[in-house]
Amino acid sequence: MTDSPFPNFYVRIDPTWPYRYLWDHPLGEQVNFTYVAFGEGFQDASQPTYADTDVIGRGELYKHFMGTSNKELSFTANFRVQNTGNSALRDEVLYPARWLDKCKHPVYDNSSELSYAPPPLLLRIGSMFHVRCILTSASIRWTEPFEPGSLLPHGADVDLTFTVVRRLNLDLGYRSESVTTGTWR
C-alpha cells in the first residue's frame, strides 16, 4: 500500500513510540489512503471552557477562560476493493480497516505479561494537518457484496476520531508555517 496516489494522506505509528517492537500487523506501521471522498468533509473541533464568577454588584456573571480541549479530527475512511481475488479483499479492505481499529486498543507484551497504552500516531491530511494524535474512536461498517464462502466484504467504512496530543507546544491555533509546509507540532 505504499503506491498511494495520495502520498500526503496517511496514518502511521509514531516512530518515537518505545513499544513499536510489540506492533504486529500485516500492513506494518502505516496505512495509506488510496481513495479520498470527502463529500461529507471532515470535522476539526476544539472547545474552549469558561468558568462563571459571581461579582458583587454586577448584574451578570463574569466569564473567564479556563482552557481549551484537545483538537479532535473526525472523518470516515472508505475502503473499496480495486482488484480481484481474496488477497485483494484482505489487502485493500480487511487489513486497513482492522489496522485502524487496532490502533485504539492497548498492546500486550507476552514476555512481560504487561499491556501498554495504544500507540501514538502521526496523521497527515495533505498540507492541512500533520499532527501527533491518538485514535479515540473507530467503528467499522462492513459493506456488501460479501464473497460467498469466505464472506470477505468488498468494502468497509471506518468512522474515525483522532485526538491531537502534543509534547511541548500547547498552541491549538493554526500557524502559517504548518498550513503551508505541513510540518507537525
On whether residue 51 sits in a domain, the answer given is yes
**Structural domain for 158, as ranges:** 9-181
Establish if 28 belongs to a structural domain: yes
Q: Look at residue 91 and tell me if it is in a domain.
A: yes
Per-residue pLDDT of the chain (185 residues; tens, 9 = 90+): 345 456 678 889 988 888 888 888 888 888 887 766 666 777 778 788 888 888 888 778 888 788 777 888 888 888 888 888 888 888 888 899 999 999 999 999 888 888 998 999 998 887 777 888 999 999 999 988 888 888 888 889 899 999 988 754 444 454 544 444 555 44
In the chain, the number of structural domains is 1
Q: Is residue 3 part of a domain?
A: no
Classify each residue of 76-113 as buried b or exposed e, where b means 16 or more C-beta atoms within 10 Å of its C-beta: bbbbebeeeeeeebbbbbbbbbbbbbbbbeebeeeeee
